[in-house]
Structure 1
Amino acid sequence: MRTAVGAQGPRGIAERLSSAVRGWVLLIDADGGLRAAVPESSRTYLARILTELPRTGVPRAPLAAAISLPGESVSITSVSVAGRVRGYIAVGRTSNLSAAEHTLVETATYLIAEDLRRADEIRQAARNNRHAVLRLLLGGNARVARTTGEILRVKVPDGPVRAAVLTTSRENATELLEAVEEDQALRRIDTVSAALRPGRVAMILPTAEGDLRTIESILRRVPNCRGAASDPVSVDDLPDAWRRVRAVLQAASDEPGHLYLASDVSEAGLLRHLGGDDVRAWAQSALLPVANLTSGSKVDFTSTLRTFLANNGQADASASALGIHRHTLRYRMTKIGEALGRDLDDPTVRAELWLALKLE
């Protein structure tokens, strides 16, 4: 069975496992998509098996279950990599599996997990390469970026390009990055993209028909996502375009699903005059207690504060925007208020914090 990993990948493993247990095998991804069915006729069992799996969007715990279908005994096992459930193996036949056959299923699960882990390593290496080239381009080192891109196999666009930045909450950071990486339209035009930090993805893309619509479609697919894009510029002018894009995003509202264009914003308002290092240091210091709360928790308290302020302190509207109960929101805001040592009902305090968030 191990030889199937290098030869045919997960499908090869499924075929070997099916032959060894004299049954059928389904490989299912974490979102319920069918990756392989051996034999092909076994795909008819998919709909019933999906009813036993956690629904999309719900945290997934490791799963090992046995169910009965008409005339079939089915074993379902999750495939995990680095503690994250990445998919499932379903094995079925007319009789129960023996202890030795369960061991074969465990071996197949391990091999598929190893295949996914190696794929993750390759993907991360490609991400690191794109990040290096992107930083060089945004820093004004176009010539070095092209040379580096040739070495790292990262294509640097020719002709006019746009700089764009997309941002979302930490909870949706992975979804945003993968949406950009896997978008077929962006891949066709040699887009250079990378995550600058969790929840913030920058990209440089050649100007092409429909390029802005492509970005907007990503904003609509990823929850709480918004972005900004520059006018077409030469690669050498990317540093100025990048500064402009960042200023536009900082000055714009937090309306999700909206793409702001540099050409549509002639002035960035008060924030244009507050770009000094001292002001940014004040903003970071003012928000540090909230950042410390976030670093020690699975909750993004900074995003909670931003949403609360964007909704003028209205609990119901803020809770709805975050997808949580209003009592949960009140608990989070109490924690934030205690960490800051400030009264969040005070309009002046809210204004200061809103300004700090924009300048951070």
Structure 2
Amino acid sequence: MKPTVRTLLARDDLALTLLTDEASLPGTALDAPVPWVHNSDLDDPAPFIEPGQVLLTTGTQFGADAGSDDPAGFDAYVARLAGAGISALGFGTEVVRAGTPALLVEACAKHGVPLFEVPYRTPFIRVARTIAELNAADANARQAWALQAQRAISLAALRPDGLGATLGELSNRLGTWVGLVDAAGALDREAPVGGLGQPALGEVVGEARSMLRRGQRASRTLEAGASVGRPQRMTLQTLGAGGALRGVLAIGDSPELDQAGREVVTAVIALAGLALEQNRDLDRARGHLRSGLLRSMLAGDVELAAEVSAEMWGPMPADPVRVAVADLPPDHADRLAEFLELRVDDRGGRLFFGRDGESVVVVCEDADRDVADELAGEFDVPVGVSDAASVTELARLHEQALRAVERARETSPGVVWFDDISRQGVLAFLARTDARAVARATLEPLIEYDREQGTTLLETTRTWLEHGGQFDATAQELGVHRHTVRSRIALAEKLLGRDLSGFHARADLWAALLATE
């Protein structure tokens, strides 16, 4: 711990006496670190003093005759010292004067400068040497702390989740919150979990995203949470090279963030940057392997994939399995892969995934179907899920998942289950973009006629087809006479140029109606 004025006052060997009433001093006046002790009897030593230093004087500048003391002179002297930012003033007695001038005591109390008396038997050099020794001891202690912390952090980096363990150790050593925002701008890891609440966390992540968008190596200091009256000083540092940033390390304020603490943080930044680069390369290699195994499985060679998977991650999912296909989020592909890798670890390998173009294919046990909802919710992407069947039918299940994700893309991001759309029948699959255009052209005569004449030919035709061409049932549904229905259908046939008495014409018209929904 760095020495302070209070440290000096507590030393019996120095026998210093505080003359200023502590209650009249600023709250931390006696506890500010003292970097050095300087002595001078100049009338204005301020130009030669650095902030935080202690000044010692014998009072030669005031003269030996107390009867000629000038209150304004003492006040101006102390004011200059206060402006220079000294930590305290020490007055050496029995050299020029028998005691400390009362006017000096008053001036120090007025300007909030601690004043202590140095007895004749205590040389100034002893006071200076004491501060030097204490600062040296503190520097050695801090250096030892830094070496110990760096060793602990290096050992943490060797653990299975080396990056997470490293951040956890840094948080523990600094006694503050530490977070990592990944290259996509999402909070990847934090220690302790939940240690930084809102809105401070949102402000930190927002600033990190701004730094990532600029793409340049940089550091920032942020007062997070000030809007709710709880400001927290945060330091943000980019990771990786300029133009290829891998993330941002965020660290809360800590009394440990002195020179030694910054050295530890620098070591963590280097380790984290290296870990992110290595993880990226390793994840890319794993991704290529997974994609190759996926193609092998879809080609029918499940046995080879199962053997490799068992060596790498654990046994393949047990029957019955489902296949889920999800679109890759453009800015979060790496995070999605890590998200799935963690779930593979949680399940001992009984979940497999691989990249297929711009999509990711997940093979999971039927009991793990909730992973589809997790994907859709976490990454805001469309997901299609197949029926449950044996892994030997993977190609068929993959085809089902592809059809389901096509339907999911037509709506908002979310999960579509193949068994839900299969119950709608084959005609439901006609609602694709190309079929919709043809259907619109087919129905255009009815749509145009209704728009110009204010009629309901399209609605009548739909209701008539829904009731299997029954005029009475249609009339009852629409609340009109059956002859009205007949005349409307006849007009529709004329406008469409089709005879709707046959099954083929009716089925084609019904498909057009479905495709335009």
Q: TM-score, normalised by structure 1?
A: 0.56
Matched, 1:204 2:373: no
Cα displacement (A) at 1:194: 1.9
Tell me: CA distance 1:79–1:4, structure 2 relative to 1, closer, same or farther (3 Å): farther
Q: Distance in 1 between matches of 2:153 and 2:363?
A: 36
Tell me: CA distance 1:26–1:17, structure 2 relative to 1, closer, same or farther (3 Å): closer
Match of 1:88 in 2: 250
Q: Distance in 2 between matches of 1:24 and 1:175?
A: 28
Max Rg structure: 2
Please give the secondary structure, in 1, of the residue aligned with 2:317. coil
Cα displacement (A) at 1:68: 7.7
Q: Distance in 1 between matches of 2:393 and 2:296?
A: 12
1:246 is aligned, of 399, 402, 419, to: 402
Q: Distance in 1 between matches of 2:341 and 2:265?
A: 32
Cα displacement (A) at 1:186: 7.7
Q: Which amino acid aligns with 1:27?
A: V
Q: Distance in 1 between matches of 2:195 and 2:170?
A: 20
Q: Which amino acid aligns with 1:26?
A: W
Tell me: CA distance 1:233–1:26, structure 2 relative to 1, closer, same or farther (3 Å): same
Please give the secondary structure, in 1, of the residue aligned with 2:239. strand
Cα displacement (A) at 1:255: 1.0
Q: Distance in 2 between matches of 1:90 and 1:121?
A: 30
Tell me: CA distance 1:140–1:26, structure 2 relative to 1, closer, same or farther (3 Å): same
Tell me: CA distance 1:133–1:101, structure 2 relative to 1, closer, same or farther (3 Å): same
Please give the secondary structure, in 2, of the residue aligned with 1:92. coil
**CA contact 2:239–2:273 (8 Å) conserved in 1:** yes
Q: Distance in 2 between matches of 1:177 and 1:162?
A: 19
Match of 2:155 in 1: 7
Tell me: CA distance 1:56–1:132, structure 2 relative to 1, closer, same or farther (3 Å): farther
2:219 is aligned, of 47, 54, 64, to: 64
Matched, 1:55 2:206: yes
Greater relative contact order: 1 or 2 (C-alpha under 8 angstroms, separation 6 or more)? 1
Q: Which amino acid aligns with 1:142?
A: V
Please give the secondary structure, in 1, of the residue aligned with 2:251. strand
Match of 1:334 in 2: none
2:178 is aligned, of 24, 27, 30, to: 27
Match of 2:418 in 1: 262
**CA contact 1:134–1:194 (8 Å) conserved in 2:** yes
Match of 2:292 in 1: 132
The alignment-based identity, stated in percent, is 16
Cα displacement (A) at 1:229: 1.5
Aligned length: 259
Q: Distance in 2 between matches of 1:205 and 1:44?
A: 34
Q: Which 5+ residue runs of structure 1 have no aligned equivalent?
A: 275-360
2:320 is aligned, of 151, 160, 164, to: 160
**Structure 2 counterparts to residues 277-296 of structure 1, below 5 A:** none
1:76 is aligned, of 213, 222, 235, to: 235
- Which deviations, in whole Å up to 9, do the C-alpha atoms of 1:279-318 show, x marking residues without a partner? xxxxxxxxxxxxxxxxxxxxxxxxxxxxxxxxxxxxxxxx
Q: Which 5+ residue runs of structure 2 have no aligned equivalent?
A: 1-146, 158-162, 435-517
**CA contact 1:252–1:260 (8 Å) conserved in 2:** yes
Matched, 1:227 2:386: no
**CA contact 1:67–1:75 (8 Å) conserved in 2:** yes
Tell me: CA distance 1:218–1:226, structure 2 relative to 1, closer, same or farther (3 Å): same
**CA contact 2:299–2:395 (8 Å) conserved in 1:** yes
Tell me: CA distance 1:213–1:111, structure 2 relative to 1, closer, same or farther (3 Å): closer
**CA contact 2:187–2:205 (8 Å) conserved in 1:** no
Q: Distance in 1 between matches of 2:223 and 2:324?
A: 51
Q: Which amino acid aligns with 2:178?
A: L
Q: Distance in 2 between matches of 1:56 and 1:214?
A: 31
Match of 1:190 in 2: 350
Q: Distance in 2 between matches of 1:153 and 1:175?
A: 19
- Which deviations, in whole Å up to 9, do the C-alpha atoms of 1:243-264 show, x marking residues without a partner? 2332343366521233223323
Q: Which amino acid aligns with 1:136?
A: S
Cα displacement (A) at 1:189: 7.3
- Which deviations, in whole Å up to 9, do the C-alpha atoms of 1:322-352 show, x marking residues without a partner? xxxxxxxxxxxxxxxxxxxxxxxxxxxxxxx
Cα displacement (A) at 1:140: 0.9
Q: Which amino acid aligns with 2:316?
A: V
- Which deviations, in whole Å up to 9, do the C-alpha atoms of 1:192-249 show, x marking residues without a partner? 0122234x110111222xx4344124213322x1121211121221112222332343
1:216 is aligned, of 350, 363, 373, to: 373
Q: Which amino acid aligns with 1:229?
A: V
**CA contact 1:74–1:93 (8 Å) conserved in 2:** no
Please give the secondary structure, in 2, of the residue aligned with 1:83. strand
Match of 2:493 in 1: none
Please give the secondary structure, in 2, of the residue aligned with 1:201. strand
Cα displacement (A) at 1:83: 0.8
Please give the secondary structure, in 2, of the residue aligned with 1:29. strand
Tell me: CA distance 1:8–1:84, structure 2 relative to 1, closer, same or farther (3 Å): closer
Please give the secondary structure, in 1, of the residue aligned with 2:152. helix
**CA contact 2:153–2:170 (8 Å) conserved in 1:** no
Q: Distance in 2 between matches of 1:68 and 1:174?
A: 30
Tell me: CA distance 1:214–1:7, structure 2 relative to 1, closer, same or farther (3 Å): same
Q: Distance in 1 between matches of 2:198 and 2:407?
A: 47
Cα displacement (A) at 1:86: 4.1
Q: TM-score, normalised by structure 2?
A: 0.41
**CA contact 2:352–2:364 (8 Å) conserved in 1:** yes
Cα displacement (A) at 1:33: 7.5
- Which deviations, in whole Å up to 9, do the C-alpha atoms of 1:70-122 show, x marking residues without a partner? 9x99671324144132432345228x845x76455323321232233334444
Q: Distance in 2 between matches of 1:51 and 1:259?
A: 28
**CA contact 2:171–2:178 (8 Å) conserved in 1:** no
